[in-house]
Amino acid sequence: MPVHRSGTARRGPLTAAGILLSSLTLVLGFTGTSGAADTPARGSATLGMGVAAHDGVGGSPRDARAALATQTEGVDTSSHNGNVAWSTLWNSGVRWAYVKATEGTYYTNPYFAQQYNGSYNVGMIRGSYHFATPDTTSGAAQADYFVDHGGGWSRDGRTLPGALDIEWNPYGDACYGKSAAGMVGWIGDFVNEYRARTGRDAVIYTAASWWSQCTGNSAAFGSTDPLWIARYNTDPGTLPAGWGYYTMWQYTSSGPTVGDHSRFNGAYDRLQALANG
C-alpha cells in the first residue's frame, strides 16, 4: 500500500532522470518495485474482500441483529487479524469461527495455528476456509491442498466442514477468465474432491451478484452444500439459485474486535448438528 506521510518533505533539485521517473510513476501508477498500487499481493485475499465494493453497504450490524430471530454469532479471520483476542470475542457472545487456511495451491495462513486452535481452546466451534483461485490450478488440486494444510474435518463435535470462498478475483478478471459453465465445473471438482477426502459437503461462501455473474446463477449445489451468503445489509437479500435458505450470513466487515461478523441461521444446537455432520 502507498505510504502516507504528514507534513511537507524537503525536495532536492530536480534532475532530468528524476523528472522522467516521476512521469513514469504518474503514468504507470507505480508505488515501488512490487507493482501496481491497486493489485494486492497473492495470498492476501479474505472472505468478502470485494463485497462492499461490488454490492455496497446498507444498514448497520445493530440493525441486522435486531431484525433476526434465533441466530448464533460468528466471525472469520485471516492473517490480516494476526493473533486474535479469542477470549474477548467469546465474552462478547461469539460462538463459532472460520479461519483462513489456504489460497490456491501456493499460500497458507501463517497465523492459522493461533487462530484455529485459539478459537477451539476458548470454547468455540470452528472451521477453516479456502480462498479459491480458479485461474491457477484445478478445483480438485485446490481441495487437496486445502485438506492437507488445515482444511480437514474430524467428528469431534467442535469442527465445522471446510468452506470454499468463491467470489470476486482480487488479482484480475472477476470470474477468473472462466465461462459460467467452466466455473460451475471448477466448483464441482472442488466440492467433489473435498467430499471424497473428508466425507463432508463443503460450505460454499459467495455473494449473490457474483454467483449470478460468474456461474450463470447455477442451482447445481443448493441440495448438497450449505450456503454462507455475503451481504452487508439488514437482510441477506435474494439468495443464489438452488438454495431455499442460508446456513450462515456474513452481514458486516466492521464488527467489534474482528471486523467480519456472521450469523448462523439457527440456535447453538443446530450449529453443533452441522459440526457433527
The residues annotated with a catalytic role in the active site are 76, 165, 167
Amino acid at 110: P
At residue 144, what are phi and psi to the nearest 5 degrees? -65, -45
On whether the CB atoms of residues 190 and 178 are closer than 8 A, the answer is: no
Q: At what angle do helices 139-146 and 180-198 cross, to 10 degrees?
A: 40
Read off the C-alpha cell for 197. 477426502
- E-state strands within 114-260: 125-131, 163-165, 203-206, 227-230, 248-252
On whether the CB atoms of residues 102 and 70 are closer than 8 A, the answer is: no
On whether the CB atoms of residues 102 and 130 are closer than 8 A, the answer is: yes
Residue bearing cell 513514469: 24
Residue bearing cell 500500500: 1
On whether the CB atoms of residues 157 and 274 are closer than 8 A, the answer is: no
On whether the CB atoms of residues 239 and 229 are closer than 8 A, the answer is: yes
Single out the residue of 128, 130, 131 nearest to residue 97, CA to CA: 128
